[in-house]
């Protein structure tokens, strides 16, 4: 069942970032979607024990950084190790969005969200935020992901 769903549903590839108590971190996420026009709201589904989720709860803000085609090393870097153990930003330039969420220099676009709700969803939690600012910095094609393959 999982394979059929994963093969048929195209996903983007994003780095979800947050900063709290002087610590910045980011994680790769594909389960990301717009969920409201007015107010403009986004949702990220985040699994248990992810360090990024802890920072989002502490700061009350997060950013969705959009990767573009070819940025598979970045997806792996932020997606296969935890910020609890390594500083994932060590070799990555970033600036701060107006509410302090880290914005990766390598991202083609971002939106910063204010945390509004958290809903349980099986072994994940749906983190829902209202978009407070957003910017398209490079006019490129977003990276997409279907069943283990990047496009």
Residue 39 and residue 59: Cα distance in Å, rounded? 21
Residue from 36, 81, 119, 141 that binds ligand FMN (CB under 6 A)?
A: 81
**Residue 82 touching ligand FMN (CB under 6 A):** yes
34 sits near ligand FMN (criterion: CB under 6 A): no
Min separation Cβ 80 and ligand FMN, Å: 6
Residue 6 φ then ψ, to 5°: -65, -30
- Helix, strand or coil for residue 118? strand
Nearer to ligand FMN, 29 or 109 (CB): 29
Residue listed under structure tokens 């780095």: 15
Where does this chain touch ligand FMN (CB under 6 A) — which range of 29-37, 59-67, 92-100, 111-119?
A: 29-37
For ligand FMN, which residue of 79, 116, 128, 144 counts as binding (CB under 6 A)? 79
Site string for ligand FMN, 46-75 (x = CB under 6 A): xx--xxx----------------------x
Quote the CA–CA distance of 9 and 3 in Å, as a whole number: 10
* Residues in CB range of 38: below 8 A, 6 or more apart: none
At 125, list the tokens: 């939690």
Does 33 sit near ligand FMN (CB under 6 A)?
Answer: no
């Amino acid at each position: 069942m999982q394979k059929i769903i994963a093969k048929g549903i195209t996903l983007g590839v994003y780095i979800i970032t947050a900063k709290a108590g002087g610590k910045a971190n980011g994680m790769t996420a594909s389960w990301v979607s717009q969920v409201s026009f007015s107010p403009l709201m986004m949702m990220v589904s985040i699994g248990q024990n992810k360090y990024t989720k802890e920072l989002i709860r502490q700061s009350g803000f997060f950013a969705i950084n959009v990767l573009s085609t070819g940025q598979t090393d970045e997806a792996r870097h932020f997606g296969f190790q935890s910020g609890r153990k390594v500083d994932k930003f060590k070799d990555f330039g970033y600036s701060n969005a107006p509410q302090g969420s880290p914005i990766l220099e390598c991202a083609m676009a971002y939106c910063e969200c204010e945390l509004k709700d958290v809903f349980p969803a099986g072994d994940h939690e749906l983190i829902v935020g209202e978009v407070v600012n957003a910017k398209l910095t490079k006019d490129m094609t977003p990276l997409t992901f279907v069943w283990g393959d990047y496009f």
